[in-house]
């Protein structure tokens, strides 16, 4: 077999990434061990699932921030900045108020209400506040339904990042070969790469082990460490990115000249048939004429005659030309901006990715690019609504911008994993200081990320075929250019930390739902502490292993799943929780209606997305369109879900009897 | 679901303000201020960015920037972001009340349910006798 091009991420033979990962993992295990000691001294359930409500400022602030910053913040978000440009600053703009909204809206009250009843989980709060076992179970069902999706998606994100981190480490390559040879030939594993499988199990076992063993405090302490890693990673990348582009002014002016690359259906033809099959790997560059790449331009040499520029393409997926055949049809990315072509030529990192055999490329068809690819659209990366290959209205039309202002700030308030953390701080003084801390923390992360990955667009053209890899690729590019390749390990640890901190929290939430909300509160309220303890360990372990197996052949659309889960949970939980905490008149029928109303409205928008009018008739599209929902009045389903949830909850509450007086006294009157 | 015990037609006295839990009252007041901040940021950011940032075709020579940031991003997002941070600092250190959140009654909910369950069992046993 002829392997034409590789896409190495870290310098071959470098073990720096492996050392980084090992040191990092050891720290996590040490924190889990310390946390497990605490479990022996305190009430098991409260300690294991809520840290005994004892979190101080740093622990509370950083666990809150790190849990909210999921894998999406360091994989999906950078990919979107890279693909759509400066408009992502508007997409993420509501993070200016996310800390004060997500912590300040409900924080003090939910903490107090949980203390009154001794609630440990969010379904506990709902069940106790409304004295309704059925409502508690409904809340459990919603959490398990949504969060399971999220857990599998996050496992995939963690594994992909680890794979990128270790791809070129020799030990890892050897281990991958062993796994590839011993992988059973079953349909379930078909198409799953050995390296992904290995990373999934390494990542999964590490997270499941420390979460199971250490419980909530292990999760919080590792979150603190991961939170620090994230902000340090961003703070290192920012000046490096600005240095490489020659400053932000230069980067922005370069972006003004760019047009998005186009996808073309093309036929690749060899100069002569080969006796073995020819494989062209994903992300390989093809230049026509072929000899154009040598010698590469020196950095700074930007004067290239237009006639000397080649046609430049990049593979989007692996292309195989069978033995004895001359050609194969595939899809390619075609670079159309002259400065991008020059940049590829002068970037040493890309040298290694060029196809070594000459190919002729016949463009069969240029695939449509819905918004921003026409010559008159130049500057599209600097303005709204931003380029978008699939939506004619662009990436972020006006109503979508409004929707996303709701999405992050308001839907973040309605996330059960955030609510659990709000039940765990030790005093309102801690809450005040933590809101301030998280506000500064997010300011240091999110706006700089927009700058860094706008610079990435200038520095690393042609990543549109695999944009989720832009974060690790940029980390390697920046550090290798200053001769500090080992630093890439630390930078790639930032997104890895973000995924880990989300996975552990979600894992614990599902586990608490099963042990506390289903078993203890519905099956055997008098269960012994010892049984609870071993059950908690076992369920956390089983859920973790289940999610890991689910991620062996994971669903695609990572960012879409994360958005679906986040908006769905908010549509279900925000209204019942706001009513329950701030409106004395709220009763069980009203709160249940709010939850179900939000769920149904949100789901309806997604199901409706699978149907479109085409040629005058209603057509069912494939299941993947579930994640491309119907935008009623151009509004995101989160707004429709929240609107229906609040209105339905209000109307039903008003039409049904007031709640029992003793509940109002307990939760709304001074003790 | 639990049965509600009061009929909708029965008028009930509205609790006096001085009966209300101070944590509840403070939290509600603070939530209103936070909601106002969110609404103000939404109105400024989306309106400003739409009016100044959705211009379509931009030549590099016509591009307005502030410290390398497109001017619509700078005035529509970066500046309000810093102002929101300043407001957050004021809110946290000058406005938000330090309240006593009370003792945590660990296990109270389960204990109440167990007691109710035993009472129910006792009643059932007595009924059978």
Name the pLDDT band for A288 (thresholds 50, 70, 90). confident
Residue in chain B lying closest to A587 (CA): B4
The minimum CA-CA distance between A388 and chain B, rounded to whole Å, is 13
> Which of B11, B70, B116 to mutate: most A Cβ within 10 Å?
B70
Rounded Cα–Cα distance for residues A287 and A360 (Å): 9
Instruction: Give the closest of B4, B93, B109 to A660, CB-based.
Output: B4
> Which of A104, A238, A577 to mutate: most B Cβ within 10 Å?
A104
Question: What does the pLDDT read at residue B69?
Answer: 93
Cβ distance B85 to A443 less than 8 Å, yes or no, reads yes
Neighbours of A191 (CB within 10 A): 8
pLDDT one-digit tens code per residue, A157-177: 788 778 877 777 788 888 888
Q: β-pairing, A278-280 with A2-3?
A: parallel
Chain B residues touching A128 at Cβ < 8 A? 109
What is the DSSP code string of A532-597? HHHHHHHHHHHHHHHHHHHTTS--S-HHHHHHHHHHHHHHHHHHHHHHHHH-TT--HHHHHHHHHH
Interface membership of A85 toward B (CB under 8 Å): no
Chain A residues touching B91 at Cβ < 8 A? 100, 104, 435
| B3 has pLDDT over 60 | no
pLDDT one-digit tens code per residue, A343-354: 887 776 667 777
Chain B residues touching A634 at Cβ < 8 A? none
Residue in chain B lying closest to A582 (CA): B28
The minimum CA-CA distance between A524 and chain B, rounded to whole Å, is 9
Residue in chain A lying closest to B76 (CA): A90
Rounded Cα–Cα distance for residues A164 and A183 (Å): 21
Summary mean pLDDT of chain B: 82
Rounded Cα–Cα distance for residues A75 and A78 (Å): 6
Chain B residues touching A115 at Cβ < 8 A? 101-105
Name the pLDDT band for A225 (thresholds 50, 70, 90). confident
Chain B residues touching A384 at Cβ < 8 A? 49-50, 53-54
Residue in chain B lying closest to A42 (CA): B106
B-facing residues of A in 402-421 (CB < 8 A) are 402, 405, 409-410
Question: What does the pLDDT read at residue A103?
Answer: 93
Q: Is the four-CA dihedral A499, A500, A501, A506 of positive or negative sign?
A: positive
Name the pLDDT band for B44 (thresholds 50, 70, 90). very high
pLDDT one-digit tens code per residue, A508-562: 888 888 888 888 888 888 888 788 888 888 888 888 888 888 888 766 566 677 7
The minimum CA-CA distance between B107 and chain A, rounded to whole Å, is 5
A–B CB contacts, 8 A cutoff, strictly below? 266
- Pick A10 or A54 by higher pLDDT: A54
pLDDT one-digit tens code per residue, A453-508: 999 999 988 888 878 778 878 888 888 777 776 677 777 776 777 777 778 878 88
Interface membership of A619 toward B (CB under 8 Å): no
Instruction: Give the closest of A109, A117, A658 to B12, CB-based.
Output: A658
SS (H, E, C) B22-79: HHHHHHHHHHHHHHHHHHHHHHHHHHHHHHHHCCCCCCHHHCCEECCEEHHHHHHHHH
Average pLDDT over residues A355-383: 82
Residue in chain B lying closest to A662 (CA): B5
Rounded Cα–Cα distance for residues A257 and A255 (Å): 5
Which distant-in-sequence residues (6+ apart) come within 8 Å of A494 by Cβ? Answer: A74, A229, A230, A232, A233, A234
Name the pLDDT band for A624 (thresholds 50, 70, 90). low
| Angle between helix A107-117 and helix A122-130 axes, rounded to 10 deg | 70
Is A637 within 8 Å of A629 (Cβ atoms)? yes
Q: Which of A292-306, A452-466, A481-495, B33-47 has the lowest mean pLDDT?
A: A292-306
Average pLDDT over residues A121-138: 91
Rounded Cα–Cα distance for residues B5 and A657 (Å): 8
Q: Is the four-CA dihedral A433, A435, A439, A442 of positive or negative sign?
A: positive
Question: What does the pLDDT read at residue B8?
Answer: 45
Which neighbouring-strand residues pair with A334? Answer: A262, A313
Neighbours of A303 (CB within 10 A): 6
Instruction: Give the closest of B2, B6, B56 to A132, CB-based.
Output: B2
Question: What does the pLDDT read at residue A562?
Answer: 77
Which distant-in-sequence residues (6+ apart) come within 8 Å of A97 by Cβ? Answer: A409, B34, B37, B38, B41, B84, B88
Is A485 within 8 Å of A169 (Cβ atoms)? no
Cβ distance A116 to B58 less than 8 Å, yes or no, reads no
Chain A residues touching B85 at Cβ < 8 A? 96, 439-440, 443
Name the pLDDT band for A621 (thresholds 50, 70, 90). low
Which neighbouring-strand residues pair with A619? Answer: A612
Q: Which of A358-362, A386-390, A442-446 has the lowest mean pLDDT?
A: A358-362
Interface membership of A252 toward B (CB under 8 Å): yes
Cβ distance B24 to A668 less than 8 Å, yes or no, reads yes
Cβ distance A118 to B85 less than 8 Å, yes or no, reads no
SS (H, E, C) A8-65: CCCCCCCCHHHHHHHHHHHHHHHHHHHHHHHHHHCCHHHHHHHHHHCECHHHHHHHHH
Cβ distance B58 to A134 less than 8 Å, yes or no, reads no
Average pLDDT over residues A590-615: 87
| B1 has pLDDT over 50 | no
| A69 has pLDDT over 80 | no
pLDDT one-digit tens code per residue, B15-26: 555 688 899 999
Residue in chain B lying closest to A379 (CA): B58
Instruction: Give the closest of A384, A588, A660 to B49, CB-based.
Output: A384
Chain B residues touching A372 at Cβ < 8 A? none
Is A108 within 8 Å of B30 (Cβ atoms)? yes
Is A606 within 8 Å of A637 (Cβ atoms)? yes
The minimum CA-CA distance between A342 and chain B, rounded to whole Å, is 18
The minimum CA-CA distance between A606 and chain B, rounded to whole Å, is 25
pLDDT one-digit tens code per residue, B111-129: 777 787 778 778 888 876 6
> Which of A384, A520, A585 to mutate: most B Cβ within 10 Å?
A384
Average pLDDT over residues A271-282: 82
Q: Is the four-CA dihedral A100, A102, A103, A107 of positive or negative sign?
A: positive
| Angle between helix A558-582 and helix A398-413 axes, rounded to 10 deg | 60
Residue in chain A lying closest to B68 (CA): A249
Name the pLDDT band for A292 (thresholds 50, 70, 90). low
> Is residue A314 classed as helix, strand or coil in its secondary structure?
strand
Rounded Cα–Cα distance for residues A501 and A494 (Å): 11
pLDDT one-digit tens code per residue, A420-446: 889 988 899 999 999 999 999 999 999
Interface membership of A443 toward B (CB under 8 Å): yes
Give the residue carrying structure tokens 């992909």.
A160
Average pLDDT over residues B55-69: 77
Interface membership of A646 toward B (CB under 8 Å): no
Cβ distance A661 to B92 less than 8 Å, yes or no, reads no
Interface membership of A116 toward B (CB under 8 Å): yes
Instruction: Give the closest of B5, B20, B80 to A670, CB-based.
Output: B20
Question: What does the pLDDT read at residue A4?
Answer: 36
Name the pLDDT band for A35 (thresholds 50, 70, 90). confident
The minimum CA-CA distance between A638 and chain B, rounded to whole Å, is 16
Instruction: From A600, A655, A609, select the one nearest A630 (Cα to Cα).
Output: A609
Rounded Cα–Cα distance for residues A207 and B122 (Å): 47
Q: What is the DSSP secondary structure assignment for residue B91, as one 8-state letter?
A: I
Question: What does the pLDDT read at residue A642?
Answer: 94
Instruction: Give the closest of A86, A96, A117 to B109, CB-based.
Output: A117
The minimum CA-CA distance between B128 and chain A, rounded to whole Å, is 24
Rounded Cα–Cα distance for residues A573 and A596 (Å): 9
Cβ distance B57 to A432 less than 8 Å, yes or no, reads no
Which distant-in-sequence residues (6+ apart) come within 8 Å of A291 by Cβ? Answer: none
| A100 has pLDDT over 50 | yes
Question: What does the pLDDT read at residue A239?
Answer: 93
| A306 has pLDDT over 70 | no
Is A586 within 8 Å of A660 (Cβ atoms)? no
- Pick A416 or A191 by higher pLDDT: A416
For residue A51, the number of C-alpha atoms closer than 13 Å in the C-beta half-sphere is 26
Summary mean pLDDT of chain A: 82
Chain A residues touching B53 at Cβ < 8 A? 87, 90, 383-384
**A140 exposed, middle or buried (CB, 10 Å; 0-12, 13-18, 19+)?**
buried
Question: What does the pLDDT read at residue A10?
Answer: 42
Instruction: Give the closest of A108, A409, A436 to B89, CB-based.
Output: A436
What pTM, to 2 d.p., does this model score? 0.83
Angle at A288 between CA A284 and CA A294, to 5 degrees: 75
> Is residue A233 classed as helix, strand or coil in its secondary structure?
helix
Percent of all residues in chain B with a pLDDT value above 90, rounded to a whole number? 47
Residue in chain A lying closest to B23 (CA): A109
The minimum CA-CA distance between A57 and chain B, rounded to whole Å, is 13
Name the pLDDT band for B9 (thresholds 50, 70, 90). very low
Residue in chain B lying closest to A99 (CA): B88
- Pick A448 or A166 by higher pLDDT: A448
């Amino acid at each position: 077999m002829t392997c034409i091009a590789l896409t190495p991420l870290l310098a071959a033979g470098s073990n720096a990434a492996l050392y980084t990962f090992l040191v990092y993992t050891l720290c996590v295990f040490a924190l889990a061990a310390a946390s497990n000691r605490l479990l022996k001294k305190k009430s098991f359930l409260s300690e294991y699932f809520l840290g005994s409500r004892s979190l101080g400022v740093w622990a509370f602030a950083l666990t809150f921030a790190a849990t909210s910053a999921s894998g999406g913040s360091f994989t999906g978000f950078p990919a979107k900045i890279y693909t759509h440009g400066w408009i992502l600053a508007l997409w993420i703009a509501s993070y200016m108020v996310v800390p004060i909204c997500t912590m300040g809206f409900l924080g003090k009250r939910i903490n107090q209400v949980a203390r009154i009843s001794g609630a440990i989980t969010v379904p506990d709060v709902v069940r106790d506040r409304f004295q309704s076992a059925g409502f508690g179970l409904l809340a459990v069902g919603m959490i398990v339904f949504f969060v399971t999706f999220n857990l599998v998606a996050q496992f995939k994100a963690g594994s992909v990042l680890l794979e990128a981190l270790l791809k070129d480490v020799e030990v890892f390559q050897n281990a991958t070969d062993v796994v590839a040879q011993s992988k059973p030939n079953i349909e379930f594993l078909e198409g799953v790469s050995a390296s992904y499988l290995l990373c999934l199990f390494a990542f999964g076992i590490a997270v499941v082990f420390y979460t199971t063993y250490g419980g909530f405090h292990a999760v919080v302490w590792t979150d603190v460490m991961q939170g620090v890693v994230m902000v340090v990673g961003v703070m290192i990348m920012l000046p490096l990115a600005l240095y490489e582009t020659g400053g932000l002014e230069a980067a922005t002016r370069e972006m003004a000249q760019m047009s998005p690359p186009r996808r073309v259906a093309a036929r690749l033809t060899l100069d002569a048939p080969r006796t073995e099959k020819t494989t062209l790997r994903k992300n390989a560059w093809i230049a026509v004429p072929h000899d154009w790449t040598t010698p590469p331009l020196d950095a700074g040499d930007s004067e290239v005659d237009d006639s000397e520029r080649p046609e430049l393409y990049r593979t989007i997926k692996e292309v195989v030309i069978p033995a004895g055949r001359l050609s194969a049809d595939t899809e390619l990315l075609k670079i159309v901006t002259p400065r991008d072509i020059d940049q590829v030529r002068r970037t040493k990192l890309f040298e290694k990715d060029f196809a070594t055999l000459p190919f002729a490329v016949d463009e069969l068809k240029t695939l449509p690019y819905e918004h921003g690819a026409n010559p008159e659209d130049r500057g599209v990366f600097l303005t709204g609504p931003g380029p978008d290959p699939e939506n004619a209205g662009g990436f972020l039309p006006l109503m979508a911008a409004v929707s996303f202002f709701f999405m992050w700030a308001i839907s973040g308030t309605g996330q059960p994993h955030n609510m659990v953390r709000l039940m765990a701080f030790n005093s309102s003084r801690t809450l005040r200081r933590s809101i301030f801390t998280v506000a500064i923390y997010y300011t240091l992360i999110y706006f700089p990320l927009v700058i860094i990955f706008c610079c990435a667009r200038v520095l690393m053209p042609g990543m549109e075929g695999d944009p989720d890899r832009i974060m690790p690729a940029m980390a390697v590019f920046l550090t290798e250019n200053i001769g500090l390749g080992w630093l890439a390990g630390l930078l790639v640890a930032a997104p890895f930390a973000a995924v880990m901190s989300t996975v552990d929290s979600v894992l614990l939430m599902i586990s608490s739902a099963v042990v506390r909300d289903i078993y203890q509160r519905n099956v055997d309220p008098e269960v012994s502490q010892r049984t609870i303890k071993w059950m908690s360990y076992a369920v956390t372990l089983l859920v973790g292993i289940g999610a890991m197996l689910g991620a062996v052949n994971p669903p695609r659309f990572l960012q879409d799943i994360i958005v679906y889960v986040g908006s769905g949970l908010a549509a279900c939980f925000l209204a019942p929780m706001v009513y329950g905490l701030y409106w004395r008149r709220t009763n069980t029928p009203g709160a249940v209606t709010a939850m179900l109303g939000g769920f149904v409205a949100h789901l309806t928008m997604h199901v409706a997305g699978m149907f479109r009018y085409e040629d005058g008739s209603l057509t069912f599209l494939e299941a993947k369109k579930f994640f491309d929902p119907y935008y009623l009045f151009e509004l995101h389903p989160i707004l429709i879900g929240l609107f229906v949830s609040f209105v339905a909850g209000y109307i039903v509450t008003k039409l049904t009897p007031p709640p029992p007086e003793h509940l109002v006294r307990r939760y709304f009157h001074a003790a | 679901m639990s049965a509600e015990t009061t009929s909708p037609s029965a008028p009930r006295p509205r609790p006096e303000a001085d009966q209300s839990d101070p944590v509840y009252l403070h939290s509600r007041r603070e939530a209103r201020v936070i909601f106002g901040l969110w609404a103000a940021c939404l109105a400024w950011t989306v309106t400003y960015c739409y009016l100044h940032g959705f211009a379509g075709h931009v030549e590099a020579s016509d591009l307005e920037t502030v410290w390398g940031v497109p001017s619509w991003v700078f005035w529509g997002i970066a500046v309000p972001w810093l102002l929101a941070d300043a407001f957050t600092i004021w809110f946290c250190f000058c406005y938000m009340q330090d309240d006593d959140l009370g003792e945590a009654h660990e296990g109270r909910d389960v204990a109440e349910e167990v007691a109710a369950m035993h009472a129910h069992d006792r009643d059932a046993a007595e009924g059978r006798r």
